[in-house]
Structure 1
Amino acid sequence: MKTFLRLILLMVAWDSLCGPSSYAQRLRITVDQTGKALVVDQRSFDLKAGLNEIAWDGVSTQLDLGSVELRSVDRPGELTVLSQRYDFDLANLQALLDRYVGKTVTLIRRDDEGNESDRLTGVLLSSQGGRVAALQTDGGEIRLNPPGEVILDTRQEALTLEPRLLFRIRARQEGRQTLELSAVTRGIAWAVQYNLFLDGDASRARLASWVSLTNSTNASYDAAYWRVLGEEVRRIDSLQPVDEKVIVEYRPAGLQQPLSLAAGGALRLPLTESPDIIAETRLIFDPIGSGPAAPTPPQKLRRVARFHNDVQHGLGVSIPAGKALLYRSIPPELLSAPFSAQTITEASIPATGVGDYFELSIGEAPGLEGERKQTSFRQVADRVQEQDIEIVLRNNTRELASPIAIEHPWGNYEILQNTHPYAKQPDGSVEFPVDVPSQETVTLTYRARVRY
């Protein structure tokens, strides 16, 4: 809820930064990745001095009515909104039937094959749960809960078949004014899809990304100016480093001009193209699902590709979170015709700011495995514990391996003893680089003291 409110406030602030020149942009839409959008629409009306009633047609059925704001662009402060009503008779079946109480309706009954068998006409006396509850027939009978498909005669009752907002407003002066309506709606979202191509040894890559805008509302948006917003987590270095969420605007090239998005439609726009990225391949042992005391059975080590988001490594742009298809070349000696020279896997890329990095798993490392266990545990003082950890790494290959053992101590911890050097990471984890000769086993141990 707090994140939603922050995004709405930032959407409004982002839109207000456009200044007076943005008034030429009659329709502006700011979208976040949670399926909500701020729609700002400008239309002209001929107003008289005093009371006016205006209808704003073509609005979304998924509006957050509490977010609706109406103001005058031409004469700020000279327009007073007295009331606001959302009008859409088809939005609520019960409300629609209530409109016909005391009027004639028809029920169509059908046989088992779906063909019309007969009709029952009468005056609707009451309805409940969107169904006819009581009907007085032409013969004077009162039928309770009669079955059938309800037919309503629109000649008896004028219905609003398209959603709209009705406003009662007071204008100080007569004349034509441009009014601006802003409201939050659900049903408009954006997502990013990545295609990442890795070479054979995973040292170089090409990254292409596309933004998809989707409109699952009933409303169409013609010649609109679009903005897409997302969140990044950035670490603030201090005595106690903290993570801070920041709002980022992404700028697909196709959004620099107005675009139309029909109801139920979608648009796909290019976001970034990075043709030559330097990747860092890492061999890691990070036991999946292991707690501080839980022993882990032997697990194969994993290879991950780390991508630094800076210009030196071929990136240097804000990267939104999204799904990725990872393509990796197969070495020629393993390639059998007629198959493609690539393997394809699915992955997720986290939101990554400039100066940060993300990692993608590129498979297990054959012949390399590790296991971990806690060998001792002591409560040395009030809210102070010590634990000894043992990690065994085995290399069954013919080459030297240099994996990194990753540990995740909890609380405020310090390493008291260790057989191998380590480095604390910004996320609080600890990395132990270890060299494991061919056909040998290396044991890493350390003692950690935790205050909580």
Structure 2
Amino acid sequence: MTRCTFALIIVAAAMPSFAQESAKPETGVRLTVYNDNYALVKDRRMLDDPLKQGINLIRFRDVAGTIDATSVYFRSLTDAEASVVEQNYEFDLVNADKLLRKYIDKPITAHTADGQMYEGTLMSFDQRQLVLAKDREKGPIFMVERGENIKRIQFSSLPEGLLTRPTLVWELATGKEGKHIVEVSYIANNIRWR
């Protein structure tokens, strides 16, 4: 009798959480870390933009940098029929050389340690110097030493295709318009307790 009462109390206590989950799914990240430095990540969140019926391009940002992209499992809690048509993992994160590479043949401004300012089209660069042209035809052409000499480089904007954090990009098919709460699970490597 006591065991039966105890079991009923546990089931009754769990009932409100089941009702709550079906009414409005809880969002957040859950992490299960395993012995061999890998983890199972479960991420429930509202997608940033409302979806339209049909195919949508979705950027799912802030995934672990060590994600195993082949392990991704997706489901929409808003539309059970929604599915990923195509997935790409974009990890081309911004760094100085990638940014400079994207600005070849575009204007930049370099400020040096001695207070000089060089404005011009970036012609080329390597680890030691930048080559800038004030005017390609008439000049002047500047070779500005990098390293400790350059204190700041100004760019007009972040170029298309460079990311500030790892991102899953999906072509997502859905039959339901509007905001979607999704659940994404994946394996991440090199996770350690500190």
Normalising by structure 1, report the TM-score. 0.31
User: When the two structures are aligned, how many residues end up with a matched partner?
Assistant: 164
Contact 1:70–1:81 (Cα < 8 Å) also in 2: no
2:167 to 143, 164, 168: 164
Fraction of identical pairs, as percent: 27
Structure 2: any 5+ residue segments left out of the alignment?
A: 1-20
Contact 1:135–1:142 under 8 Å retained in 2: yes
Task: Tell me the distance in 1 between the aligned counterparts of 2:40 and 2:156.
Answer: 34
| Aligned partner (choices 177, 180, 183) of residue 177 of structure 1 | 180
Which residue number in structure 2 is paired with residue 32 of structure 1? Answer: 34
* Residue equivalent to 1:125: 123
**1:7 alignment counterpart:** none
Q: In the TM superposition, what is the alpha-carbon distance from 1:103 to its structure 2 partner?
A: 1.6
Partner of 2:76: 72
Which has the larger share of strand?
A: 1
Listed one character per residue, the Cα deviations across residues 173-193 of structure 1 (whole Å, up to 9, x for unaligned) are: 324332122233345322xxx
Q: Tell me the residue number matched to 2:7.
A: none
How far apart, in 1, do the equivalents of 2:85 and 2:129 lie? 38
d(CA) in 2 for partners of 1:155 and 1:24?
A: 36
The change in CA–CA distance for 1:144 and 1:62 in structure 2 (over 3 A counts) is farther
- Is 2:57–2:171's contact at 8 Å kept on the other side of the alignment? yes
> C-alpha distance in 2, partners of 1:155/1:137?
20
Task: Choose from 26, 41, 44 the match for 2:43.
Answer: 41
> What's the counterpart of residue 139 of structure 2?
140
Say which structure, 1 or 2, has more relative contact order (CA 8 Å, 6+ apart): 2
2:124 alignment partner AA = S
**Offset at residue 49 of structure 1 (A):** 0.7
1:79 touches 1:172 (CA, 8 Å); kept in 2?
Answer: no
**Larger helix share, 1 or 2:** 2
> Equivalent residue for 2:10?
none
Alignment match, 1:103: 106
How far apart are residue 74 of structure 1 and its match?
4.0
Displacement after TM superposition at 1:106 (Å): 2.5
The reply on whether 1:188 has 2:191 as its aligned counterpart is yes
Matching residue within 61, 79, 84 for 1:57: 61
Runs (5+) with no aligned partner, structure 1: 1-20, 111-115, 191-213, 215-452
Code of the residue aligned with 1:135 in structure 2: it is L
State how far apart, in whole Å, the 2-side matches of 1:121 and 1:31 are. Answer: 50
Map residues 80-91 of structure 1 onto 2, 5 A cutoff: 80-86=84-90, 89-90=93-94
For residues 170 and 78 of structure 1, the distance between their equivalents in structure 2, rounded to whole angstroms, comes to 6
